[in-house]
Structure 1
Amino acid sequence: MVIPVYKNEASVPRLVEALGSMSKELKGEMEAVLVVDGSPDRSFELLRNASATLDFPVQILVHSRNFGSFPAIRTGLAAARGEYFGVMAADLQEPPELMIAFFSALAADECDVVIGTRDSRKDPLHTRLASGVFWNLYRRLVVHDMPEGGVDVFGCNRVFRDQLLKLEESRSSLIALIFWLGFRRKLCGYERQQRQEGVSAWTLRKKIDYMMDSIFAFTDYPIRLLIRLGATGSFVSILLGLMILVARIAGVITLPGYAATMVVVLMLGALNLLGLGLVGTYAWRAYENSKQRPLAIVSMKLQNDGATNV
């Protein structure tokens, strides 16, 4: 279990209790990796004190400052020891039973990565509306097969974990990388619980930053939009230019220089957008190469040498 911790002092007792119950249900075959992401409260102190009383392996890693939940998850995944890995939030808004379902699916070799999808949520109305708008935009602009309710938690096997950690990108989206990797995927629905302690650190500013990072790391939609606007604007400017020219010849426009000025402004404005889109396309291709993502990933290999299968 990999759990990022930031301003979760109030929920630590419930978290420790939930981990203990999960360990018993998994017959002791569980390790908890808690990554304290520069939390300014007493989260680390409480976790350190509680770890001495637990009867299953625990690692507590402390970041030098607050780097964000996704870097904390990567830190935890890199340090975790095991064949299967689950990621959950320290506020327990995702039910711990979901992690057991993740483990069952992975242990049965039903998939390489299992993703928790929100079927419903017990949050306030304004929170549900804001989340719905955010994830709808995310599906439209970034990851088209993203579940409607969004993704906060996931589990995976060692093969998937190792491939995910190879993608060392800053200012990126861990969730989008999970979908980009592919592999055998399973969705597991759950009802998101109401937050019992504290307030969420997932602020509007962080949501906007996350959306911008995802857009610029995974899609050239803004560039394609510029090209479309530039091409459409060029066509419209030609039509308007012809209309202005006809009106000038017919004597409808009598102001000297108006026709020439309008035609030049319309044409150059449209061509500027088109040119920015074309230049942006080349810049995007160079940026894609700089990320050094593999061109393809082999998830399974079967080889028959005539005697044995490997």
Structure 2
Amino acid sequence: MTMHQPTLRPAYPAPLPRKLVSLLVPVFNEQEAVSAFLTEIDRVFAPLHATYDYEVIFVNDGSRDATEFVIRSRMTDNPHIHLINLSRNFGKEAALSAAIDHAQGDVCIPIDVDLQDPPEVIPEMLDLWSKGAQIVNARRANRTQDTWIKRKTAQGFYRVFNALADHSIPQDVGDFRLLDRQVIDVLRDMNERVRFNKALFSWVGFETEEVTFDRPERQAGTSAWTYWKLWNFALDGIFSSSTVPLRIWTYAGGTLALMAFLYAAVLFFRTLVVGIDVPGYASTMITILMFGGLNLFAIGIVGEYIARIYSEVRERPLYVLRSIHNPGGQN
């Protein structure tokens, strides 16, 4: 009797699981921009479906318009959307930190909802990541969309920051970049209350590559960044990333003290030899005002650091959650 052996079928390797990309999107009064942003994200990730899945983590930073309700209405038919509501407006840096804390992706990409960070750059970022890069910075090729004042102040900020900071940041690179999971895990362990995320992204190190893009105009809504907010943001960046201003005033104070001592010695010996002159009101006032102004300026810099120390030692949370909404509209 002949026994028939079963035919063995060739073994095919199981398909590799898709990598998860977390898009981190802080929003504040952006009801007009949400729908266009999601449409563009769907378009960009459609060709990447075989390799990458994605989640969009919106952090509603205390919006006073219908931003939350627009996002929740889109969640009913879009399983990629997550929504985190903060209890009030904590600022973009805190909102971005909240998104980082809740992201589950193999890579994370902070991105603005106004489409000035063009999503079509994302495939190029992912390609560099697949080749070994752990951070992929997106540099603006030009700033022609900004006003002349904003371009000049931005250039000045980068020059001053990189001259003072212990670790420089790349010029014309915002929060828009790719961060590997290992980088995200390190950032989660950094507990500063006064945060300047661009500096933290550079401080952590890791293998870094770069892509460039032309920054388009805002597609909808208006920017919440006033010049006053940008000024305070710049101060937070400098004082949270460097102690050089304090060191400068150590040397400046020592130099001024030496000059004052020498001048006092000259006056003392001149008085002994020549006698006492009638003091000049103008020179006296100039000296008093000059040294008084320098003292106040130095005290102001010390005060900036003390204020940040005060914020750190209180150990208040960086943000407060009001609610979290998961895909499918589940709370």
TM-score range, shorter chain: 0.7 to 0.9
Q: Which has the higher contact order (CA 8 A, sep 6+)?
A: 2
Is residue 33 from structure 1 mapped to residue 82 from structure 2 by the alignment?
no
% identity of equivalent residues: 23
Q: Which amino acid aligns with 1:105?
A: L
Q: TM-score, normalised by structure 2?
A: 0.73
SS at structure 1 position matched to 2:53? coil
1:113-262 → structure 2 map (5 Å cutoff): 113-121=135-143, 122-142=145-165, 145-251=168-274, 253-255=276-278
Q: Is the 8 A contact 1:123 1:193 kept in 2?
A: no
1:267-306 → structure 2 map (5 Å cutoff): none
What is the distance in 2 between the residues matched to 1:32 and 1:143?
A: 33
Q: What are the superposed Cα offsets for residues 103-124 of structure 1, whole Å, 9 maximum, x if unpaired?
A: 2221221x21122222212223
Q: Which amino acid aligns with 1:117?
A: R
Structure 1: gaps (5+ residues) = 292-310
Moved more, 159-168 or 180-189: 180-189
Give the aligned partner of residue 9 of structure 1: 31
Larger radius of gyration between Structure 1 and Structure 2? 2
Q: What are the superposed Cα offsets for residues 250-295 of structure 1, whole Å, 9 maximum, x if unpaired?
A: 3164349x9xxx9xx99xx79x97xx89xx7xx99xx6xx78xxxx
Q: Which amino acid aligns with 1:78?
A: D
Q: Which amino acid aligns with 2:65?
A: D
SS at structure 1 position matched to 2:250? helix
Give the aligned partner of residue 106 of structure 1: 129
Q: Is the 8 A contact 2:161 2:168 kept in 1?
A: no
1:43-62 → structure 2 map (5 Å cutoff): 43-54=67-78, 57-62=80-85
TM-fit CA distance, 1:170: 0.6
Q: Is the 8 A contact 1:143 1:176 kept in 2?
A: no
Give the aligned partner of residue 297 of structure 1: none
Structure 2: gaps (5+ residues) = 1-22, 314-331
Correspondence for 1:84 among 99, 107, 115: 107
Q: TM-score, normalised by structure 1?
A: 0.77
* 4+ aligned runs moved over 3 Å, structure 1: 252-256
What is the distance in 1 between the residues matched to 2:262 and 2:95?
A: 55
Q: What are the superposed Cα offsets for residues 12-59 of structure 1, whole Å, 9 maximum, x if unpaired?
A: 2210111111221321511111111111111121122123233x5221
What is the distance in 2 between the residues matched to 1:195 and 1:126?
A: 18
Distance 1:249 1:148, change over 3 A: same
What is the distance in 1 between the residues matched to 2:167 and 2:269?
A: 47
SS at structure 1 position matched to 2:228? helix
Q: Is the 8 A contact 1:117 1:150 kept in 2?
A: yes
What is the distance in 2 between the residues matched to 1:107 and 1:173?
A: 28
Give the aligned partner of residue 23 of structure 1: 45
Distance 1:194 1:127, change over 3 A: farther
Is residue 94 from structure 1 mapped to residue 114 from structure 2 by the alignment?
no
Alignment RMSD (CA, Å)? 3.0
